[in-house]
Chains A and B, each alone.
Chain A
Amino acid sequence: MPTVPTVSLRTQLLLVSLLTLSLPWAGCQYIQEMEASLRHGQTDAMQATAKAVAARLASEPNLWQPLDHPHTSAAQHLYAHPLSAAGIVDGYNDEWEGLEFTPRVFQSSRNPQFNAQVLAGIHQQTLYLLIRVNDPKLHYHHPSRATLASGDHIIVRTAATDYIVATSAPGGIEVKYKDANNQRQREHRVRGQWVEHQHGYQVELSLPLDMVQPIFELGIVDHLVQDAPTIDPITGSPASQPWPVDLIGTIEQPTDTYQPIHLNPSNIAQQLSAAKGQLITPLAPLQAATQVFTREGIRLRILDQQGWLVASSGNLRSAQVQAQQPPWWLRALYELALTDNSWPTPHDSTRDGFIEPIATTDSGKNNHLGRSPTSIPAHQWYQDGRRQLGRSSAVIEVNSDATGRSISQYPEPVAVGTVLVEQTSDRVLALTNSAFTRLFLFTTGATLLATFGLVGYASWLSWRIRRINRAATAAVNTDGHIGELESVWPQHEWQDELGELSGNYQHLLQRLQGYTDYLRTLTSKLSHELRTPLAIVRSSLDNLSHSQLDKQALTYTERAADGAERLSRLISAMSEASRVEHSIQQADKEWFALDDLCQQLTAAYADAFAQHTFNCVIKPADYQFWGAPDLLVQLLDKLVDNATDFCPAEGCITLELLRHSRKSGDTLTLHLSNQGPLLPEHLQDQLFDSLVSIRSKTTSSAPTTNSDTHMGLGLYIVKLITQYHRGRVYARNLDDGSGVCFSLQLPILPTQEKE
């Protein structure tokens, strides 16, 4: 039984060719390794640079001293961002909004509605301040009062003096102070604007930088009660009762741990002098110093002791890398294949003014304060959007005695600042990109080549095998005859195993052919050979019967003659098949009426087999047929022989004839059914092969001459005659299980249509 392969050779080799996908995987692994090692190299270089810069800075006191803030903590600093253009002092925060700086927030614990946000910026030695105060009730300064400020005001304390920023109405501010002679003076160097907003007021100030160094403090005062007696906070004469006044941030207070204080005027001064506010600005000398170390693609940053960003130079762009961008799909593939690092995102220092090393668990608190230099890790990679950023830090260490601190007897290195070196991985990326591109192209090419090669080879192999298969199938017909082998067998000039297989197969089929030929002609040869000795026996017996014999000898002679007779019939039956084949070859076809034939035959059978009932049912139609009537008579004889042998006495045998009209042509169908035992299901196809006999001699009618010479040839002859007429014959059990029906289909071929 031929089977269709479910997993053909081609599929199998296609699956095998998928093994070549291990190539790109190995390549990716390699590229990952390479990238990692390149990155290490880069890291090492960055660290070396950072250390070099740190050493350089540490060796020059005038460079590192501004970094050192031994007496103040980060809470006491206000960071002034570097501005690229001069601020417009109009009280509005238009130009500040675009810059996205993080303001410093001050809260009053007594009154949560009273808070302020402070922004500071530096441009060319001018400090710009934006102070936005949320004050539920505004009290303006009453100009007629003697005091400097009788309403809400801001105190700016510098090393020289305290300045009061107050106004009687929104608009320009006159900044006043009390000079040495206790005279009210106006400070012209400070310009400011006061603007009201929905929740309070906003002040924008600009003042020269040298005014606010080295000390800078800010105090925001909320006058709670109008017309309460005020006192000059500077001179601080004692008051009889405490002021109802709210003072925010002296900058030293961390905003969320602000302790409410009851203030009296003297208190303010004290508070203020206890504060040690300082303004942190970018330092130009450092900037210049670091400029030396920059090169393309590297950004240097200097952080002071509290982590404030005081110098930055260089940028991360690398022009040469920009030009080599690979196509977008390749980059996407690259990212898919190679990047699997889960690096943190870097902290944007430009907004806050300091570098936060890593997002820590307590990043909610204290986010306005910098970190100590030693808390920043020596090296870290960050994922900044689509590229990676590497950051190396080196601590600027100087001897403790040089800093003026006496920590211990032994001079120990003190960290006064940090040098950060940042570089993107663009250059490495460029290298690995190109390597990846080449890897991708090569492995794709190799994989495709391997796949096509293997699939093509598989196709060729399976074509060869199929050719052998087809030749073998074609060589052996359904009834076991082996046709011409030489013509259909593919030449086996191939030197490999398939050629060997093909040759062996052909050899096998040839031997089989020879054997089946021998078997087929065996019967006729045998019968032929047997006739001569049989003739001798019979003729001798004939002669014997004529000579003088006593009664006993005569009996023996008769018995011998009977035996010879049976032998003769056997031999006739044996060679019958080949005789039928011969007669089929010699047969002539003619036009005859099939229904006529059937009717005459049925009558004849009814006479011959009297113990069975014969019916003939013919549907009216045209039954002219082009065929050999003698052969069909023989065919029907054989079928009826079969039927009568299996049908019990008084049983019914029916012959039915009808004509089917179909698109492909008409067919005359003949059904011969008999009552009796059913056919075994699995043998229904083999029934018509020669020498297959499945008789069970249960109900045998009167023994015919052929009943003991059955060699299973009857149905084989039926098949031969059917094939001669290009018809089909098949046997099946009747639906009601009462017996068996043999059906013969004879096609009326179009060329034979009688006009």
Chain B
Amino acid sequence: MARHIAIIEDEQAIADNYRDAFVRQGYQVSHYRDRPTALQGFANQHHDLAVIDIGLGEDVEGGFELCRELRSQAPNLPIVFLTARDDEFDVISGLRLGADDYLTKDISQAHMLARIVALFRRVDALSQPVDQEELLERGPLSLHTARMSASWNQQPVDLTVTEFWIVHALAKRPGHVKNRQQLMDAANVVLDDNTITSHVKRIRRKFSALDQQFDAVQTAYGMGYRWQSRND
């Protein structure tokens, strides 16, 4: 069954382009131009994924509002933010509202599709029991690649897809330095160095919230990052 993707975007041209790309991949797409119609659409039909543009018409923060409402209706719905803005503030507030990922409109179609596939896979994986083979364990860290979930000392850490992929890339080869370009490739994004830095910072913060002594993600100045667990 084809997955139903909802695109909430006020720019017709972009929406059409994305729709064409998704349709070519075999997904079903609905396009909503603003918040009221989107809510109505969600009420009427079931959707598997929502791609939301933050700036909806005159309503600058409309996307965030919509995300909040959708999240309250369907907690498990994967939500991706799509915007021209790339300020970190927006990133933070977007993710605090429960979106799964945050993409700039610069993104290439290939990357976009990879994201969507990953998100669907995660949804599927969540509904299935844990498969030990897909588990990556590095000391207190435990990563489930299919579900894209992570836990530290058996405590779940809420990571976005991008963050998960970064941690996965680092932890897969502990001690090896990965530069930013490699991390970007791993996360299937095109970001500038600063955003990678802020992603890493956010990763550190999330882990530090659970464990004060967390310092597994180390900076190799000028080179990149590496995973260095204390026990190794």
Contacts and interface: CB of A to CB of B under 8 A. Distances in A.
Interface of A: 528-529, 531-532, 534-536, 538-540, 542-543, 546, 568, 572, 575-576, 579-580, 582-583, 586, 588, 596-597, 600-605, 608, 629-630, 633-634, 636-637
B223 A532 contact: no
B222 A633 contact: yes
B106 A535 contact: yes
B197 interface: yes
A636 B222 CA distance: 9
Contacts of B84: 528-529, 531-532, 535
Contacts of A534: 105-106
A542 B221 contact: no
**7 closest Cβ pairs, A-B complex:** A604-B222, A535-B105, A531-B84, A539-B17, A601-B222, A542-B109, A600-B221
Contacts of A588: 201
Interface string B11-22: 101100110110
Interface in B122-143: none
B39 interface: no
Contact of B219 (A576, A586, A605, A630): A630
Contact of A630 (B13, B18, B104, B197): B197
Given A600-B221, A629-B219, A582 B14 contact: no
Contacts of A597: 221
B106 A536 contact: no
B213 to A, nearest CB: 14
A531 B104 contact: yes
A540 B106 contact: no
Contacts of B198: 583, 586
A3 to B, nearest CB: 42
Nearest to B221: A600
Contacts of B192: 572, 576, 579
Contacts of B105: 531-532, 534-535
A601 B221 contact: yes
A536 B84 CA distance: 11
A598 B104 CA distance: 33
The contact size tier of chain B is 20 to 34
13 contacts: A531-B105, A542-B109, A543-B21, A543-B109, A576-B192, A579-B87, A583-B88, A583-B198, A586-B198, A596-B221, A600-B221, A630-B197, A637-B222
B194 interface: yes
B216 to A, nearest CB: 16
Given A536-B11, A536-B14, A539-B17, A531 B106 contact: yes
Contacts of A604: 220-223
B96 interface: no
Nearest to B224: A604
Nearest to A602: B222
Contact of B220 (A528, A532, A600): A600
Interface string B75-98: 000000000111111000000000
B72 interface: no
Contacts of A539: 14, 17-18, 21, 109
Given A538-B108, A586-B88, A588-B201, 17 more contacts: A531-B84, A532-B105, A536-B14, A538-B106, A542-B21, A542-B109, A543-B20, A579-B86, A580-B194, A582-B87, A583-B197, A596-B221, A597-B221, A600-B220, A601-B221, A630-B219, A634-B193
Contact of A583 (B18, B110, B194): B194
Nearest to B11: A532
Contacts of B219: 629-630
Nearest to B198: A583
B223 A600 contact: yes
A92 B106 CA distance: 139
Nearest to B105: A535
B24 interface: yes
A750 B192 CA distance: 36
A582 B21 contact: no
A228 to B, nearest CB: 146
Contact of B24 (A546, A568, A629, A633): A546
A634 B105 CA distance: 25
A74 B210 CA distance: 140
Contact of B88 (A540, A543, A582): A582
Contacts of B11: 532, 535-536
Contacts, number: 89
A103 to B, nearest CB: 121
A543 B223 CA distance: 36
Given A532-B14, A532-B84, A630-B197, A542 B108 contact: yes
Contacts of A540: 13, 17
A310 B182 CA distance: 138
B196 to A, nearest CB: 10
Contacts of B197: 583, 630
A583 B106 CA distance: 21
Contact of A600 (B85, B86, B109, B222): B222
Given A534-B106, A543-B17, A528 B85 contact: yes
B14 A535 contact: yes
A568 B14 CA distance: 16
A605 B222 CA distance: 7
Nearest to A608: B222
A572 B104 CA distance: 12
B226 to A, nearest CB: 12
A528 to B, nearest CB: 6
A112 to B, nearest CB: 124
Interface string B183-202: 00000000011100110010
Contacts of A531: 84, 104-106
Nearest to B87: A582
A529 B84 CA distance: 8
Nearest to A636: B222
Nearest to B190: A568
A602 B221 CA distance: 9
Interface string B97-116: 00000001110111000000
Contacts of A601: 221-222
Given A580-B194, A597-B221, A604-B223, A536 B17 contact: yes
A203 to B, nearest CB: 132
B55 to A, nearest CB: 9
Contacts of B86: 575, 579
For B17, B85, B110, B192, the residue with the greatest tally of chain A CB atoms inside 10 Å of its CB is B17
Contacts of B13: 536, 540
Nearest to A535: B105
Contacts of B110: 542
Nearest to A637: B222
Nearest to A630: B197
A531 B222 CA distance: 29
Contacts of A582: 87-89
A246 B17 CA distance: 159
Contacts of A532: 11, 14, 84, 105
Contacts of B222: 600-605, 608, 633, 636-637
